[in-house]
Chains A and B, each alone.
Chain A
Amino acid sequence: MTPFTFATAQYDSGDWDSAPFVPANVIDAVARYTDIEVTPTGVVVPLASRDLFRYPLVYLTGHLPVRFSAAERGILRTYLDRGGMLFVDDHNHDVDGQFHKTATDELGRLAGAPLRELPNSDPLYSAFFAFPEGPPTTSHELNGWGDNLVHKHLLAVLRRDRIRILYSNKDYSSEWSFHPDNKRFLSVDTTRFAVNLVVYALTR
């Protein structure tokens, strides 16, 4: 059986590699809390490559404007049609930032419909850990970085009641991008929501 491999999307525009510690922390959390077989290291997969189909969950982040090439758009559309799940996180935590504007525009065109607020009762928030209030708040939201807002919802595109595209303004890319050695200093493990994300992708 193929173990779960955390994949980070590499795209032509923007800074796709802005959160280098996220894969290690997510992999550690999945291995720590579950019995899911997981590859010890993550992979980087170009969006325009058919290799993307080997990783049915892919993580995409950045600060800069996002514009997909025709090849990237074609592969992504097929990927989503076949049951792949794309998790996009705005590393800016800024609803008026360039990443947010361009990424939501691109994703809306890709899906053929605009992203909508995901209800906080969605199974994503109870897939493993319980988050009854919806997406967990990040320290960057509470510190007033970016747009100085606490975003109460994530955005999503659903097909057959399953999330195909999940979009976050919460800046989990900063929240989960600490050096793994520093996890011991956290009073609450902030990567627990990443476990929900992986479990959701593997089970729904």
Chain B
Amino acid sequence: MPSRADVAVWTERGLRLLAYGALAAALLQSLTARSPRPRTITVSSSALPALLAGAARSGDTLVVVTDSALGPVYRDWLAAARAAGRVVGWSGTSIPAIAVAVEPLADPAGGDRVLVAAPNGATVALADSAGAIDSAAAGAGGASFAAPALAGSASATVGRQTARAVRTDSLLLRHVVVFGRASWETKFVIAALEERGWAVDARIALRPEAAVVQGSTARLDTARVAAVVALDEAAVPEGAAIAAFVRQGGGLVLGPAAAASATFAPLRAGAPGERQSAPVFEVGAAEPRRALALVPIVHLAVGALPLERRGSVVAIAAQRVGAGRVLQLGYEDTWRWRMSGPEGAVLAHRAWWTSLVGSVAYRASVPLAPRAPANDAPRARMVAALGPPDPSVPSPARDSYGDRPARPWWWLFAVAAGALVAEWARRRRRGTA
């Protein structure tokens, strides 16, 4: 029968052997362990923020099923993971393809034009950081809004998807030069533009060798002048300079009497037709230009666009000439709108003339300080960052990464440590430690 001392020695040896065995098993485990087989994890966009940190540490394929495009933070996170070698996909069949852009209006009163690309017929709601502004149904070319002053970013919403953009540049407004005979039309066109805030230079012809000159009309150059308004035959002596200015990138508004001159034939959008009297006498609030006489624009040039019609005839048309733009007007004596129109006619006439000049004015833009990137085209940016969507991905049944079993390596270390501590304790009791 073994003595108690022999039993103690065998016990200690057994414990040491157990510790060695556990260490050997752990070593073997670490040498032979393989990564777990990657799986495809499907999550909804709403659950993504909570799960993204866990997903980033795993090797799984990640597919995000979303009903609206992801914001820039999560989109960029997934794009970074994709660039690092992870397989990332997305599905979002219901996300509308929308985009928004903001550009400053060529208007001394300020304001922005918000251009929204959206599916034809979709209802577009426009807002800024202060709240809702307007809504409109998108046409074939989307929707366009003129906003007096945007607070922060502009957001356009279609369904559940919102696109946001900020203005990235501002305009340097330059002078407008008006050429015309001494007439009420010349006087009130200048007045309307000046009252809106334009710096107007003018040459008003009184007779061939005499004119009233305001400011400087000698040098037509886009470095100083944004647009020329040629109202009548008084602009003919400047025809060559005006043509060069337009080809350089300047804007031209051509009145019906000026358009009738052969000098301006290469620039005009169409030929002047037969003068029509106004169909109504009183200037009304709804359609004030119906009370104006009209010289229709006929035989439009190739590339010219009709911008406004009265009945079946073209009243305003525009075309590009060189680097500049020409807008041809068929209406005569627009000053009657201002003087004889209903309440608000002065403001309406002023705004209308500013819109005509602003639509052709040379745009000298100045970049604004860079701001945080906005989500201006959510779906397009998703495609650019993550590739095209995969419509075959089913909706996620459960958003979780918690079903993977824990790896059993820790208890081998506990066995080894426990065995060594027990051996050491027994040896101390025997007084041999």
Are A35 and B345 touching (Cβ within 8 A)? no
The reply on A46 being an interface residue by CB < 8 A is no
The reply on B428 being an interface residue by CB < 8 A is no
Within 8 A of B (CB), among A37-61: 37, 50, 53-54, 56
Residue of A nearest to B256 (CB): A1
Chain A residues near B187 (CB-CB < 8 A): 56, 83, 201-204
The reply on A130 being an interface residue by CB < 8 A is no
Given A35-B205, A82-B345, A203-B204, verify A1-B182 contact (CB < 8 Å): no
Are A128 and B210 touching (Cβ within 8 A)? yes
Docked pose: A107 CA to B41 CA in angstroms: 84
Docked pose: A160 CA to B183 CA in angstroms: 20
Docked pose: A163 CA to B89 CA in angstroms: 72
Are A82 and B338 touching (Cβ within 8 A)? yes
Number of interface residues of A (CB under 8 A): 25
The reply on A127 being an interface residue by CB < 8 A is yes
Given A1-B257, A2-B333, verify A37-B339 contact (CB < 8 Å): no
Binary CB contact string for chain A from 75 to 86 against chain B (1 if under 8 A, 0 otherwise): 000010111100
Chain A residues near B345 (CB-CB < 8 A): 82
Are A202 and B208 touching (Cβ within 8 A)? no
Point out the residue from A1, A79, A84, A128 that lies within 8 Å of B181, measured CB to CB: A1
Docked pose: A2 CA to B334 CA in angstroms: 10
Chain A residues near B335 (CB-CB < 8 A): 56
Binary CB contact string for chain B from 315 to 355 against chain A (1 if under 8 A, 0 otherwise): 00000000000000000110110111000011000000000
The reply on A4 being an interface residue by CB < 8 A is yes
Would you call the interface of chain A mostly helix, strand, loop, or mixed?
A: loop
Are A202 and B207 touching (Cβ within 8 A)? no
Among A1, A33, A127, A128, residue most surrounded by chain B Cβ atoms (within 10 Å) = A1
Chain B residues near A34 (CB-CB < 8 A): 182, 206-207, 210
Are B232 and A1 touching (Cβ within 8 A)? yes
The reply on B399 being an interface residue by CB < 8 A is no
Would you call the interface of chain B mostly helix, strand, loop, or mixed?
A: helix
Residue of A nearest to B211 (CB): A203
What total count of A-B pairs have CB within 8 Å?
75
The reply on A36 being an interface residue by CB < 8 A is yes
The reply on A149 being an interface residue by CB < 8 A is no
The reply on A199 being an interface residue by CB < 8 A is yes
Given A1-B183, A202-B183, verify A160-B195 contact (CB < 8 Å): yes
Are B340 and A199 touching (Cβ within 8 A)? no
Docked pose: A82 CA to B345 CA in angstroms: 9
Docked pose: A127 CA to B185 CA in angstroms: 18
Are B183 and A4 touching (Cβ within 8 A)? yes
Chain A residues near B207 (CB-CB < 8 A): 33-35
Docked pose: A56 CA to B339 CA in angstroms: 8
A197–chain B nearest beta-carbon distance, Å: 12
Are A36 and B338 touching (Cβ within 8 A)? no
Are A54 and B336 touching (Cβ within 8 A)? yes
Residue of B nearest to A84 (CB): B339
Chain B residues near A4 (CB-CB < 8 A): 183-184
Are B181 and A36 touching (Cβ within 8 A)? yes
Are A83 and B181 touching (Cβ within 8 A)? no
Given A1-B257, A83-B191, A199-B212, verify A35-B206 contact (CB < 8 Å): yes
Within 8 A of A (CB), among B284-314: none
A195–chain B nearest beta-carbon distance, Å: 9
Binary CB contact string for chain A from 1 to 28 against chain B (1 if under 8 A, 0 otherwise): 1101000000000000000000000000
Residues on B close to A: CB < 8 A?
Answer: 181-188, 191, 194-195, 204-208, 210, 212, 232, 257, 332-333, 335-336, 338-340, 345-346
